[in-house]
Amino acid sequence: MSGIRLYVGLVACLTLSQLGLGCVDHLAVTGVSFVARKYKGIFMTILSNTSRQESTLAFVRILVRNLSANPERLSPELREYVFQVAHDAAKFAQHHGSVTEFKPEAIELAFQIADKPDLVQELSGMESAQAFNKNIAQRLMDGFQRFAPA
Amino acid sequence: MVSKDSLLHNSVLHLILGQLTQLAQGHFFSNDLQSYIGQLQKVLLQLADTESEKTPILPEAKRLVTDAVWRATQYLAGSTSNRIPYEIVYSLKHALEDWGVRDCVITTSLLKSSDFSCERINSAPAKICAELMLKTEFSVDLVQVAFPEIFEHSPIFCTPLYHEIGHYVEERYQRITGMATHAEDLIEHLPDHPYLNINYSEQSHREIFRDHSIEHFCDIFAASYVGECAAFYIEQWAPDQPFTVTHPSTQSRVELIHAFLEERSSPYLDALLETSKDSEGNSMLKRRFILPAVEAFYADIRPCEIQSVEELHGVFPASLAFMQTPGFPAPPLAPMNNEKVAATINGLAEKSIRNFMIKRAWNEHLDKIKN
């Protein structure tokens, strides 16, 4: 019986969503809230990334995002850290050094930027943390966006 | 006064702190875990203190640390429940030491589902705190693995955990990701390459190559310690699993495991072995187990006498083979049904390892006294 109710609920959800209506909320006021809640429980979670594990780069992403928007929020130590990771990643992407010489996060970042020679060139050309400015950070952030949404 | 934006996170932080205080009052078998909890408490107190802006920390970073501690608490709680599969954890610890991971404690969580998993390396608080430059010294790192609760006393069926700690090793050293960064010529040798959609972008091909290679590496890592057991679980539990963007097909995984065990050569397998070489140029992916002669012991329903660490790893495939050999089990196991035989042999394997653990700990203690 509950299977039939679930089926009816799903059809209703699909129909309503095709009409551009938020199915769960609308079903809740149309008398099939049990089915709607069940549908929500089975197929949806409150956040799309509730159980997704962050990659090794999660912290680097936070720093780069801050560097691109609010660089003043980063301490000198953190600026130095994120510069080193980005610089090492660029070096590794340019075939310099082996994995054992770099931090794991630099290797993972290298993988993500390896097919962007201009960005790699720019990052490897930085000589100090001060050179890692907002613009470069923003370009690195754009590279991130494609692969690992925040 | 807590700001509106940090209300939830601040509450979570204090709730976890309460949980850790409770855990600290429990009994751990490991002093390392006991002190780790103390270190976590210090971190949380330090984070709570940032509310007063004495030591400002980026709010996003604070959330990352809180989440990491929350996850760690789940595994630490699992490790105080006296339901840790000590025997397999002991074996895994030896495997990690082979790969230079000596500063770690394996914590476990029991799952109601059929999954095996390993938390990403930056889910362990020590890693994040080091990056955040929080002034807390962790004496060990956590390797956080989860496995099905129903296998609590079935060590032979827990061998997928060898695959899982392979993930930890890869995350720690990023050898395969490093290989995938410069792997243009290798993509065509990927076992599932024929199934790669030609409409995928070059970047997608690289990502699939990396993800598949990590899975293959973990399979070979497991096979190097537990031989056929590395193929057994995926073959029996997911025999028809097709190629997906994150995982290779079961068929290609099993074929590669067999190629490794039979020491066959292929450009792709050779690349994996090459990537895993130590500083002296020897591949770390090599057969690291010896099959103990379990038959004579198990046929009499006695635990096997394990003589070395290689036999410790080898007791898993040897026990599995004993279960599967036609004509076995011999009497007195013969009258049992399959289910009972599997439970009995798992029990014997568990006791064999436990005896080895006790004997070794005893000998080490005696050696210390002598010296």
Q: CB distance from A51 to chain B under 8 Å? A: no
In angstroms, rounded to a whole number, what is the distance separating the alpha carbons of residues A33 and A10?
A: 12
Chain A residues with CB under 8 Å of B133 CB are: 75, 77-78, 81
Per-residue tokens: B80? 């105080």
> pTM (2 decimals)?
0.85
Give B168's pLDDT tier (boundaries 50, 70, 90): very high
Q: Do A53 and B120 touch (CB under 8 A)?
A: yes
- The answer to whether the CB of B250 falls within 8 A of the CB of B235 is yes
Q: Is A56 exposed, middle or buried (0-12, 13-18, 19+ CB in 10 A)?
A: buried
CB pairs under 8 A between A and B: 79
Lowest mean pLDDT among A53-67, B172-186, B250-264, B297-311: A53-67
Residue A31 above 60 pLDDT? no
Q: How far is CA B174 from CA B73, B156, B282, in A?
A: 26, 29, 18
Distance CA B171, CA B177 (A): 9
Residue-level pLDDT at A7:
44
For CA atoms A100, A102, A103, A104, give the dihedral sign: negative
Q: Which residues contact B86 (CB under 8 A, 6 or more apart)?
A: B354, B357
The pLDDT assigned to A149 comes to 37
Per-residue pLDDT band at B1 (split at 50, 70, 90): low
Q: Which one of B120, B181, B203 has the shortest CB-CB distance to A54?
A: B120
pLDDT of residue B84: 80
The answer, for A53 touching chain B at a CB cutoff of 8 Å, is: yes
In degrees, rounded to 5, the angle at the alpha carbon of residue B62 between the alpha carbons of residues B56 and B63 is 150
Distance from the A103 Cα atom to the nearest Cα atom in chain B, whole angstroms: 8
Choose from A63, A79, A100, A107 for mutation: most chain B CBs within 10 A: A107
Contact list in B for residue A110 (CB cut-off 8 A) is 178, 181
Decide if pLDDT at A150 tops 80.
Answer: no
d(CA B226, CA B291): 9
Q: How far apart are CA B219 and CA B261, in angstroms?
A: 11
Mean pLDDT value of segment A33-53: 41
Distance from CA of B122 to the nearest CA of A (A): 6
The interface predicted TM-score of the complex, written ipTM, equals 0.86
Question: pLDDT digit string (tens) for B330-368?
Answer: 666 667 777 788 899 999 999 999 999 999 999 888 888
> Span A61-69, mean pLDDT?
92
**Is B203 part of the contact surface with chain A (CB cutoff 8 Å)?**
yes
What is the CA angle B33-B34-B38, rounded to 5? 110
Q: Distance from A110 to chain B by nearest Cα, in Å?
A: 7
Q: What per-residue confidence (pLDDT) applies to A20?
A: 38
Residues of B in contact with A67 (CB under 8 A): none
Lookup: tokens for A54: 């962050």
Contact B78, B21 (CB under 8 A): no
Q: Strand B117-118: give its sheet, edge to edge.
A: B104-111, B141-148, B117-118
> What is the three-class DSSP state of B283?
strand
Do the chains contact at A99 and B206, CB–CB below 8 Å?
no
- How far apart are the CA of A112 and the nearest CA of chain B, in angstroms? 8
What distances in angstroms separate CA A16 from CA A28, A30, A43, one per listed residue? Answer: 12, 12, 17
Please determine, for residue B142, whether its predicted confidence score (pLDDT) is greater than 70.
Answer: yes
pLDDT at position B265, please? 95
Inter-residue contact B57 to B50 (CB < 8 Å): yes
Residue found by looking up tokens 């999660």 in the block:
A58
Q: Which two tokens stand for residue A93?
A: 């992407």
Residue whose entry in the numeric block shows the structure tokens 């994040």 = B128
Q: Does the beta-carbon distance from B181 to A110 stay under 8 Å? A: yes
Band (pLDDT 50/70/90 cuts) for residue A43 is very low
Q: Are B313 and B222 in contact (CB under 8 A)?
A: no
Residue A99 is nearest to which of B131, B173, B279, comparing CB atoms?
Answer: B173
- B173 in contact with chain A, both atoms CB, cutoff 8 A: yes
Does residue A125 register a pLDDT over 90?
yes
Q: How far apart are CA A113 and CA B36, in angstroms?
A: 36
Q: Is the pLDDT of residue A129 over 60?
A: yes
Q: Is residue B311 over pLDDT 50? A: yes
The nearest CA of chain A is from the CA of B60 a distance in Å of 7
Q: What is the pLDDT of residues B254-275, one digit of tens each?
A: 999 999 999 999 999 999 999 9
More confident residue, B52 or B257: B257
Calculate mean pLDDT across residues B169-197: 91
Contact at CB, B181 and A147, closer than 8 angstroms: no
Q: What are the distances in angstroms from CA A77 to CA B50, B134, B179, B296?
A: 17, 11, 30, 62
Q: Which segment, A13-17, A142-146, B111-115, is predicted with the most confidence on average?
A: B111-115
**Contact indicator for B88, B106 with CB cutoff of 8 Å:** no
